[in-house]
Amino acid sequence: MEDYTFDEETTSENGKQKTLIIALVAITVILAGALAYIWYQNNLNKEELVERKAELAASMQDLLDLQDAYSGLSVQYDTISMQLDSSRMEVELLMEKLQKERQVSNATIRQYQKELGTLRTIMKGYIVQIDSLQKLNTKLTADAAAARKEAAASKKKTEELSKTVKDLSGQVSAGAVIKAYGLKTEAYNQSDKVTDRSSRAKYLLTTLTLGENDLAARGPVTVYIRVKDPDGYLLVNGAQKAFEYNGEVMNCSASREVDYQGSAVELGIYLNDIPEYTKGVYTVEAYTSKSLLGTTELMLR
């Protein structure tokens, strides 16, 4: 009876040990599985973080590349250029800091993304300003070119108009000049008869007619004559007189003033007080202060 009890207790003890071993093995397997899962998840998280870190760095580089694309334009606008350079420096510092991070967490990645998002918004705002200013500058340049073209055309038109006015003014001025016809000089003797002998000549008479001209100024007009003897010396009637013609002061032999009212006027100018006349050809010129009325010659034998 006692032997039977021992065997039963031994069998029961062995059963308990087997159960314990099975339990320990099960726990070990579960722990190993849990550790494997945790290791697997950690590796997945690390790979994901590395990938997200790379994506973040790429986003930063894209932002820097975008800034580079507008750097040439931003130089034209000093204030925006300085602001854009400041934002670029912040992105570069953020990228350098990210590259130095050996271990990054989700919280760290989110912080970087937040800072990068803020910088992206600021930088894109500057770029929008550059685009707007560039479009405005292009429009202003086009408007300026059009204005210059219009001004050039207007200047050309004005110059052409001025030339036309000048030409017309010249034509009017030329048309307003009094002209003469019938210019003639004759010598007279003591009996007031025409002679061609120098020894009998006592005085010379130059006659002419001022032509009709509606454009000419009304009022007193003085006609001057210059008579040169055969030797080219100017003969002077009494006291020497002078007049101005084309800016030049000239002496005259004699003169006469008439009232000109646009109608034809006949007049004669005497040259006397000459002691004697010599044989040869005498040259006679008739002037007003604005024009040469004509020339004629007198031959005395």
Total domains in the chain come to 2
pLDDT band of residue 71 (cuts 50, 70, 90) is: low
77-134 pLDDT per residue, tens: 566 667 666 666 777 776 677 666 666 667 777 776 777 777 677 767 767 776 777 7
Name the residue with higher pLDDT: 248 or 105. 248
Which residue, of 74, 100, 132, is where some domain finishes? 132
Weakest-pLDDT range from 124-138, 195-209, 266-280, 285-299 = 124-138
In a domain, 152, yes or no: no
In a domain, 31, yes or no: yes
Q: Are residue 100 and residue 205 in the same domain, yes or no?
A: no
Q: Are residue 127 and residue 16 in the same domain, yes or no?
A: yes
pLDDT band of residue 148 (cuts 50, 70, 90) is: confident
CATH code, domain carrying 229 = 2.60.40.10
Output the pLDDT for position 103: 60
In a domain, 71, yes or no: yes
In a domain, 143, yes or no: no
Output the pLDDT for position 155: 84
In a domain, 168, yes or no: no
Output the pLDDT for position 72: 54
pTM attached to this predicted model: 0.48
177-222 pLDDT per residue, tens: 899 999 999 999 999 999 999 999 999 999 999 999 988 889 999 9
In a domain, 263, yes or no: yes
Q: Are residue 187 and residue 289 in the same domain, yes or no?
A: yes
Weakest-pLDDT range from 7-16, 245-254, 266-275 = 7-16
What backbone phi and psi angles, to 5 degrees, belong to 32? -60, -40
Output the pLDDT for position 105: 67
Which residue, of 98, 132, 166, is where some domain finishes? 132
Domain residue limits at 267: 180-300
